Structure 1
Amino acid sequence: MIRVLIVDDEALVRTGLAMILAPATDLEVVAEAVDGAGALDAVTRHRVDVVLMDVRMPGVDGLSALERIAERPDPPKVIMLTTFDLDDYVHRALRAGASGFLLKDTPPRDLVTAVRLVAGGDAMLAPSVTKRLITAFAERRPARAAAARERLQVLTTREQDVVKAVARGLSNADIGRELAMSEATVKAHVSRALAKLGLTNRVQAAILVHDTGLAT
């Protein structure tokens, strides 16, 4: 069972998200919170696998809560929700370790899929803005690109192939089919690559690859 925490300052939004997730028999909404402070408390009191959290909230906002959640040992995955697809807060959230970014008007089926994917270790970005969002990090200044390429040198050739596929937005299953390896092997490669690079999740790996200018 995937245990979910919903964080939004609008009761109507929280109710709507809970109703969307309710029919999924493998998902359970274990708590709700109205702001970042409440999210931190809920994560402490409940065993949470995935947090669906609004970016903009009064008091402790989503970004501040994300940064503090990321500092916890074995933190839950966090999907940030926003109304604006190019919100600067979202850029910062992905840098801080968010596992996903979705617009609030994401279709219900896609929202449920996103929770499952993120819980399983994948990343989930709103399809309509994936390329623009990641490219926004990749200004490709020569010094920045050179530094990013140097960082990738700690990876084996196969690990580099895998993280480049991650940067293209492929799931573990898709990468396995493309590179002729099992999904479990892909997951192992991703985990090792993240550890070697000192990164938290696939989104950060994708950003690093785009920084190199090598993403295709």
Structure 2
Amino acid sequence: MDKLPTIRRLPTYLHLVRELMQEGSEFVSSSHLGGIMGVDAILVRKDLEITGISGTPRLGYRTGELKRAIEDFLGWSDSWDAFLVGVGNLGSALLGYQGLDNYGINVVAAFDSNPDKVGRSVRGIPIYGLERLPGLVADRKVRLAILTIPPQHAQEVTDLLVRNGITGIWNFTTAHLEVPPGIITHKEDIFSGLAVLSAKMARTVAALPKEGSHES
């Protein structure tokens, strides 16, 4: 998808616009957004064009309209009910993160194979055994799942999800998932982000003067 870099930047624009609205700002310029994000104003305008919004000369974008345009484009105007599978450290952290609600995801139930976790709840979200998943998918009409299980079990659980009507999977495991046509998956690769950060830090440190050296 050639618009993928733009789509990846839209949540940051949305976060900034929401903050500006809380501060009472009615308008925001592309140069202001670009300055905060460290990108050129021209790129900001091109990014926002994808949402169908247009700015006002010398004033910029109305913050309320820009917020709605980004949310509508991303499908975040309405929340998606979701199931989370795997209540380990990462899964528990996601269940405890209230910010998901701001980005169109409403986790309504979690699942785990550990009997010590089944029957408990995190932030009011109940945890069930995996055997309950088929019935609850049908009852709640859920179509989105968040996968935070050990990678060796990822494909087996994915097959279970797809077989019971899940059509979108947010994959936080390191496994590559095989799914039939029409099923949407997105792999959230945390370590790719870490690699970028580490590489930038390594280059920055390498450019620093060596201890004890003297520049002329």
Same fold, TM exceeding 0.5? no
The structure whose RCO (Cα within 8 Å, separation 6+) is larger is: 1
> What TM-score do you get using the length of structure 1 for normalisation?
0.36
* Bigger share in helix: 1
Instruction: Give 1 or 2 for the bigger CA radius of gyration.
Output: 2
Question: TM-score scaled by structure 2?
Answer: 0.36
